[in-house]
Structure 1
Amino acid sequence: MIVVFGSVALDLVTNVPRIPSPGESLTCPDYSLVPGSKGGNQALAAARSGAKVVHVATVGRDEHAGLATALLKAEGVDLSHLARSERTTGLCLVTVAADGENTVIAAAGANLDTRVAQLETLAFGEGDTLVFQMEVALPENFAAVALARRRGARTVLNAAPAQRVPEETLRALDVLVVNEHEAMIVAEAAGLSVSGPSEAAERLHRAYGCSTIVTLGPKGAKAWHDGALLEIPAPKIVPVDTTSAGDSFVGAFAAALDGGSDFPTAVKRGVVAGSLACTLPGAQTSIPRLADILSFSTDF
């Protein structure tokens, strides 16, 4: 079983010719409202990769709550530990450029009311995988990591959006997943002097013992695991929208580990899932299914 302790939000997506510069105004013909957030995306990605998934999160009492959780419900994600808040449901403002690159501003809303107490009532332990991001109140997030560690569950933290991760949390992790930008922030906040993302991943792995993965977009991923470097290239694709690439990686990777795959296989599935997510528009609408991941995995 995979338990995602994290965010739920609705994405307001605009498509523009390019990412605007500071102070610049751009127009676009339309916008869309689609389910999103890192927690929701990763829960859906894990479910589409064949895992049994429970999502522990919080939404508001507004009309956005149903829209934000619609695809999770449709894919069979267990939402019985979803709480309600007087705050509004989280909202992500997503700008997608013609070349597929994007910017995201996440308005936390009800996600700030997610509490580790919601997780304490859930029966989980050894053999289960807990997945975390950084879009809920951080003290609750780090307390949830510690709870998962005490119960003997596998712990996977996607340190995004990038912020400081306490050393005790890093030591409690089995796997840390970061992109190049996040790798530098987490390493430097931990007091490590590093010259680049690859060195940051190695130093974090050696200092805290957690397997550390750096996602590299079209270059695939590098991972430090059991003291050794693993490099997985990405398949060649034509990007349309990169919005959920990282979340697709995390969900597919966690599902593979939870299903008994070895670490290199899990990383490869994550890389393929992230690449496939870039070939379709939208966040949750672009997240691939296991059959497509497995089919594509044999082609590179």
Structure 2
Amino acid sequence: MTRITVVGSINLDLVASAPHLPRAGETVTGATLARHPGGKGANQALAARRLGAEVALVGRVGDDAMADEATALLEAGGVDLSEVENDAEAPTGVALIAVDPSGENQIVVAAGANHRMTAAQLPARIEGALILQLELPLEVCEAAVGRATDFVCVNLAPAQPVSDQLLRRADLIVVNETEAAFYGDLLHHGGGRVVTTLGANGAVMHQRGGEIARAAPPKVTAVDATGAGDAFVGAICVALLEGMEPQAALAFACAAGALAATRPGAQPSLPTRAEVEAIITAS
């Protein structure tokens, strides 16, 4: 079984499904509220676990009731939470999410305990594959990459300046179109693969600046895009670590992301391996 360590954020998502997304200064009424476990790190960990990997999560939550809510699906899904610490001085991270009927969203994150994580919490060596995002303090992200001994995937979200060393060490970089524009040619300075997600248009993979694969997702009816990108990250890592060729790996990840967009919430929407394989076969 593929072994993956995810170093990343853990949040509780408060999701308001509204008739439309608000403009600056606008109040939108008529929304319904739901609470779901979230956070990029937690989402990607559960995504990889549901797709067949053995996954451990390293992260931080508050010493509060929201922590139990935020980790409930991870625990139920079999993600190893032994390296998740409770912080007595900061609350569990919260994401405030507005979603419109087409599945588009707006997100504001109150990081809470996530931003109190330090490199001292990391294992001295990170064995097996590592998946990392940028919702933790940057020094923690940099330290995690430095302690990795195998495959490293960095999801450069949210976009912010990072060291050249981190970019060069990554075997796989995943960005969306906005993040790709932020980093520009820096993405291609290392020898690793770079995947840019294109929303409903799928994804494209480059290596050393040259396109090596492109895939489109199966046609679905989107309900909520929250978590779709994280489903993609978990899936592309599992696929490549299992030895799939780039084209097949992209198609697998696009299918996982598309399925996640058909259901509300981040972690509740993450598909199983059987679901992904079934929609690929049917397409």
TM-score class, shorter-chain normalisation, is over 0.9
Give the TM-score normalised by the residue count of structure 2.
Answer: 0.94
Q: CA RMSD in A?
A: 1.4
Tell me the residue number matched to 1:275: 258
Following superposition, the deviation at residue 204 of structure 1 comes to 2.5
Tell me the residue number matched to 1:290: 273
Tell me the residue number matched to 2:52: 50
Distance in 1 separating the partners of 2:282 and 2:201: 16
Q: Which moved more, 1:159-168 or 1:260-269?
A: 260-269
Tell me the residue number matched to 1:196: none
Unpaired segments of 5 or more residues in structure 1?
A: 193-202
What is the identity, as a one-letter code, of the residue corresponding to 1:230?
A
Tell me the residue number matched to 1:117: 120
Classify the secondary structure of the residue corresponding to 1:222: strand
Following superposition, the deviation at residue 163 of structure 1 comes to 1.2
CA contact (8 A) 1:14 1:30 kept: yes
Instruction: Work out whether 1:263 is the aligned partner of 2:246.
Output: yes
Tell me the residue number matched to 1:13: 15
What is the identity, as a one-letter code, of the residue corresponding to 1:289?
T
CA contact (8 A) 1:134 1:141 kept: yes
Distance in 2 separating the partners of 1:60 and 1:204: 34
Tell me the residue number matched to 1:100: 103
- Call closer, same or farther: CA 1:119–1:23 in 2, change over 3 Å: same
Tell me the residue number matched to 1:38: 40
CA contact (8 A) 1:2 1:258 kept: no
User: May I ask how many residue pairs the two structures share in their alignment?
Assistant: 279
CA contact (8 A) 1:38 1:133 kept: yes
Following superposition, the deviation at residue 219 of structure 1 comes to 0.5
CA contact (8 A) 1:204 1:210 kept: no
CA contact (8 A) 2:114 2:135 kept: yes
CA contact (8 A) 1:14 1:96 kept: yes
CA contact (8 A) 1:51 1:258 kept: no
What is the identity, as a one-letter code, of the residue corresponding to 1:115?
T
Which residue, 65, 84, 90 being the options, matches 2:86?
Answer: 84
- Call closer, same or farther: CA 1:229–1:45 in 2, change over 3 Å: same
Q: Which runs of 4+ in 1 moved over 4 A?
A: none
Tell me the residue number matched to 1:199: none
- Written as runs of structure 1 = structure 2, the 5 A alignment for 1:230-241 is 230-241=213-224
